[in-house]
Amino acid sequence: MNTQETINYNRIAEAIDYIKANFKDQPNLDEVAEKVHLSPYHFQRLFSEWAGTSPKKFLQYTSIEHAKKLLKEHQATVSETAFETGLSGTSRLHDLFVNIEGMTPAEYKNGGKNLKINYSFAESPFGNIIVASTSKGVCFMAFAEDELTGFLALKDKFPNASFTQKLDLAQQNALFIFQNDWSKLSEIKLHLKGTDFQLKVWEALLKIPMGQLSTYGSIAHQIQKPNASRAVGTAIGNNPVAFLIPCHRVIQSSGTFGGYMWGNTRKTAIIGWEGAHINL
């Protein structure tokens, strides 16, 4: 890292610390830019390059993480949460949750109470998996050593949803991929919840052809955030749908396969399996 890059890194780190410490005051772009001695325009561009999101979005993510903790861990009311998060009213909190979490504050507090999820277990070439779906599509898929572990992982994502152990069409279409039936890919529907940045990263992963690999840096460039490799790695680590969203196809620029939520051995096996089948 050269001298200018070090200066830029330190400025953005200072800005992030400032936003985290003062989010209840909801500082605007000009205020934060002044703290790091940059013009608002230059600061906006630099922050987006290094953090993978805009200062405004970062403030929103920081605010909503605090709000989620108040709602879930402290059982605060919606109005109390809005006040304690520094928002002007419940309508702003409502808009923030809908835009980022895809649900209202009350729905979040209820942990997906009105959400109906079907789930089933299946065998794959890489071990047992659990796949779950809503009426909109597959919302969760993970490798699981046993059924209880898999179900608890699903329930942790949607703690108050109602669950039915049932194999439906959305799950069947998803599972065909393990039988080399690539003709079903267009029929796989996903029901995903994530930040704009996460969704962009996951969309980029879907574009990596089977049998090919990419790097965290390449994904960052693809979504036009060239300095956000670390943020890309975090988003990949939050992938809720194993295999279908192929986070296993992303490796380090050194050629090292790197980490994998479901184990490095499994990642190596999947990459080898895909490479072999693409050449058949």
Residues 6-40: tens digit of each pLDDT = 888 888 889 999 999 999 999 999 999 999 999 99
Q: How far apart are CA 227 and CA 149, in angstroms?
A: 36
Q: Nearest to residue 174, comparing CAs of 213, 124, 210, 214?
A: 124
Residues 31-42: tens digit of each pLDDT = 999 999 999 999
Q: Nearest to residue 95, comparing CAs of 104, 85, 84, 87?
A: 104
CATH of the domain at 218: 1.10.10.10
Looking at residue 229, its amino acid is: S
Q: Nearest to residue 226, comparing CAs of 216, 213, 235?
A: 216
Please give the pLDDT value at position 192: 81
Specify whether 32 is located in the same domain as 88: yes
Please give the pLDDT value at position 184: 59
CATH of the domain at 174: 3.30.160.70
Q: How far apart are CA 253 and CA 250, in angstroms?
A: 9
Split into its structural domains, the chain has a count of 3
Please give the pLDDT value at position 112: 60
Please give the pLDDT value at position 205: 92
265 is in which domain, residue-wise? 196-278
Residues contacting 22, CB < 8 A, separation 6+: none
Q: Give per-10-residue mean pLDDT for the chain (280 aa).
A: 79 91 93 93 88 85 88 83 86 76 70 81 93 91 93 89 92 84 69 80 88 91 86 89 92 85 90 78
Cβ neighbour number for residue 76 with a 10 Å cutoff? 19
Greatest alpha-carbon span in the chain: 60
Residues 63-107: tens digit of each pLDDT = 988 988 888 778 888 888 888 888 888 888 877 776 766 667 776
Specify whether 215 is located in the same domain as 181: no
State whether the Cα torsion 179-183-185-188 is positive or negative: negative
Which of 166, 187, 208 is the last residue before a domain boundary?
A: 187
CATH of the domain at 28: 1.10.10.60
Residues 232/268, Cβ–Cβ less than 8 Å: no
Please give the pLDDT value at position 1: 55
Cβ neighbour number for residue 177 with a 10 Å cutoff? 16
Q: How far apart are CA 15 and CA 35, in angstroms?
A: 7
Residues 244/270, Cβ–Cβ less than 8 Å: no
Specify whether 126 is located in the same domain as 105: no
Looking at residue 187, its amino acid is: E
Specify whether 263 is located in the same domain as 213: yes
Q: How far apart are CA 183 and CA 84, in angstroms?
A: 51
Which of 94, 109, 124 is the last residue before a domain boundary?
A: 109
Specify whether 15 is located in the same domain as 94: yes
Which of 187, 212, 228 is the last residue before a domain boundary?
A: 187
Helices (H), 158-263: 169-175, 196-206, 216-222, 229-237
- The two three-digit tokens of residue 265, written as one number: 């051995």
Please give the pLDDT value at position 128: 93
Residues serving a catalytic function are: 247
Specify whether 203 is located in the same domain as 169: no
